[in-house]
Amino acid sequence: MELDIFVVDAFTDKQFKGNSAAVVPVNEWPAIHLMQSIAAENNLSETAFIKNICDNHYEIRWFSPLTEIDFCGHATLAASYVLFFEFGLKGVIEYSTAKVGSLRVSLRDSKNIEMSFPNQKPTGINQVPTEILQGLSKQPIYVLKNRQAYFAVYASEDDIFDINYDSQQLAQLAPFDVVITAPAKAYDFVSRYFWPANGGDEDPVTGSIHSGLAPYWAEQLNKTKLIAYQASKRGGVLTCSLTGDRVLVSGTGVLYMKGKIYT
């Protein structure tokens, strides 16, 4: 089997920044163990496999080096970058997913790719898991949760930059990941994302978690359009807005590599 592969740096306009994802178009789904092996070999935070259904309509599946993932934003942006700029698609791309329904993606201008996500606003919890209290070097003001992760909220962006984490502790929260977040000065809010149970220690830029972060901060800041920064070593900027029951997350991408996979 010979497959095309593309690697895109997502949520950045500079190579070696943002979050890298591999994109593998397929005519038929390979065996799950093969897709997982390709993702492990790529050793990027995500590898997206896309299968065409009809014009501008694709099925999409996401694999970390460890497991298949329910929902990945940056690899969806990467897949859309490939379809818009390498395959020449126009208009709106629709992705069918197994867990989060239909995702619609548009090219808003010459660079910005806008993705429509379900609103996954987190809610408060009665008891903070000890793994969070022991896994983060500073205790949060409070903690919320959605279907994807625990949200540890802090008072200052300085807290977010300074926090150290214990991956062994946070991994015990599986299948949930952990995002830490606070209001910011140059942006509306800042975050970092830890996912040792599902893919790695710290994710560079996590599009999917902004379907929860954006509605939370929209309520706190009383605004529906927000600029977010994910403060990993690579870093990434995301534009978020709320419309109805959807969260629109947009950003840019840069092609890093294209080639072939031989299996």
Which residues are catalytic, by number? 46
How far from 210 is each of 26, 28, 72, 153, 192, CA to CA, in Å?
28, 31, 11, 14, 11
Residue with tokens 């490939």: 82
How far from 227 is each of 44, 82, 152, 171, 255, CA to CA, in Å?
25, 24, 19, 29, 23
Q: Shortest CA distance to 167 belongs to which of 140, 138, 142, 200?
A: 200
State how far the Cα of 42 lies from the Cα of 54, in Å rounded to an integer. 28
DSSP assignment string, 43-110:
TSSEEEEEEEEETTEEEEEEE-SSSEES--HHHHHHHHHIIIIIS---S-EEEE-SSS-EEEEEE-SS
Residue with tokens 């949930």: 176
